[in-house]
Structure formats: C-alpha cells, structure tokens
Amino acid sequence: MNNVKVFVLMAGLTAVFIGVGQAVGGQSGALLALGLAAAMNIFMYWGSSTMVLKAYRAQVVTPQQAPELYEMVDRLRQRAGLPMPTVAVAPHEQPNAFATGRNPENSVVCVTEGLMRLVNREELEGVIAHELAHIKNRDMLLQTMTATMAGAISNLANFAMFFGGRSDEDGGSPLGGIAMALLAPIAAMLIQFAISRQREFKADAVGAEIAGRADGLANALRKLDAYSKRIPMQVSPAVAPLAQVNPLAAYRGGVASLFSTHPSTDDRVRRLLG
C-alpha cells in the first residue's frame, strides 16, 4: 500500500510540473528547467555522503574505535542482505540517526553520541535496522527524483515571477500564471514531504523485519521523539529529513503536519505494534 501511495504522489508531482510548464513557457521552458534541476541534483546525489556527514559534523569510525556498534551494523546488514556500509558517529547530544549514500554499495549509517548513551541494545538494533531499511529500499534514489521534480517546479515558478507567464494571445492567463507560480512550489513541497513520510513508514516496517522484532524500534522512537523536543540540534534544514526523527522541531498536528517530513511518532508506533 505504501508503494501505491508513493506512485500516486509521484504522479501528482509530475502533473504539477506539466501544469507549470504549460503555464509558463510551454514545452521548451519546462525541459530547460528540468535539465537545470536534474544537473544540480545529480551533483548532490553523487556527493551526498560527504555533504551530509559534514552537515552533521559526523566522523567515520573503524571497528577498533567502535567495536560494539560496528559489530551490530555488520550483523544486521548481513541479515538484510546488504553490503557493509560505512559507519559514522555524530557529536550531538540529541539521540538520532540517519542513512545516506547513492546506493547500497556506497552507503553510510550514522548515529549520534546521544543515541548510544540513551537507548538499550534492543532499541539501538531497531534504530540501525530502520536506517538499513532505507538503504535496502533505495530511498536515497527516490529522494533525488522527488527533489529534481520539486526543484524544476520551483525554477519554472521563479521564471514566471520574473518574466511572466504565457499571455492571453498564447492561450494563457497572466493572472493564472502568477497564481501557478505562487502555488505550484507549495504543492510540490507538500507532495515531496508526503512521499518522505510514506518512506518512513515503509522503513519502519522493513526495519522491524531486519531486527526480528518491532518493540525495540517502537520503544526507541518514543525516546527519540521525547528527547528531540528537549535537546536542540544545530543542523541544516536541508538534511533534517534524513534523520530518524525530526531533529529541528517537535511534530505538530493540524495544518502544520502537512509541512512535516516525518510522520507523527504515535502513528509510527501504532503501525509497528498494531
């Protein structure tokens, strides 16, 4: 069901892009914006591991430096049928974790120092299994695709704001073009965030399978959510969606939930244990 929802959301993102392209500059303008966005995101995709590790100030660790952590990652990745990822630790008090990398052969699993101090062994296994699930599901590739589409829509919207859309003589409405330029990036962002939330649910489910139990991850999520509200993390919003729980702000319901890159912890725990 999660994959079906992601497919529908991707179709919606494509529809928004086509609509903006028609409103702004026709087919040629849409292709140009897509090309520029794709070039930027390909560069970020290939250098994602280095950029994300720097953003979190994380350091790669060896088996000698973190033997228990390294052994746990190695054991769980074998259970998941994955190659051994690079293991890193970030010097943050907030308990959290993330995975990055362009494919399973070039992946990174990172945990914070606060996480290793807070959770027990079963909970840490659940957290790591969740991140390995992201790698197994190739979520980084999907994030690059959605970022490319959302970036192209924003580029087209900026073009419309500065140079105007198609005129009435071209079969378009100037007011409609302006409205499209203002609303399309918001719509694209909402769809992008919705896809991210669906991938978190999927990673929770696959992570529980890798760990062999769901309660470890469920208990860890409760702790991570509680402490993320008490302990701030200084990290760029651009890399915040990669973390296992939102490192920047507590989850809020209502309209604000539309702009969240993470599902609510209560929903995640309920699905895991339900």
Catalytic residue positions, numbered: 131
54: how many CB neighbours lie within 10 A of its CB?
Answer: 12
Burial 90-117 (b: 16+ CB within 10 A, else e): bebbbbbbbbbbbebebbbbbbbebbbe
Cα 208 from chain centroid? 19
Q: Which helix (H) or strand (E) holds 173?
A: none
User: Quick one: DSSP state of residue 85?
Assistant: P
183 vs 224: CA distance, rounded Å: 34
Q: Are strands 107-112 and 59-60 parallel, antiparallel or unpaired?
A: unpaired
223-228: list long-range contacts, CB under 8 Å, 24+ apart: 223/95, 223/118, 223/119, 223/123, 224/95, 224/96, 224/115, 224/127, 224/265, 225/250, 225/251, 225/265, 227/94, 227/95, 227/114, 227/118, 228/94, 228/95, 228/96
79 vs 87: CA distance, rounded Å: 17
User: Quick one: DSSP state of residue 82?
Assistant: -
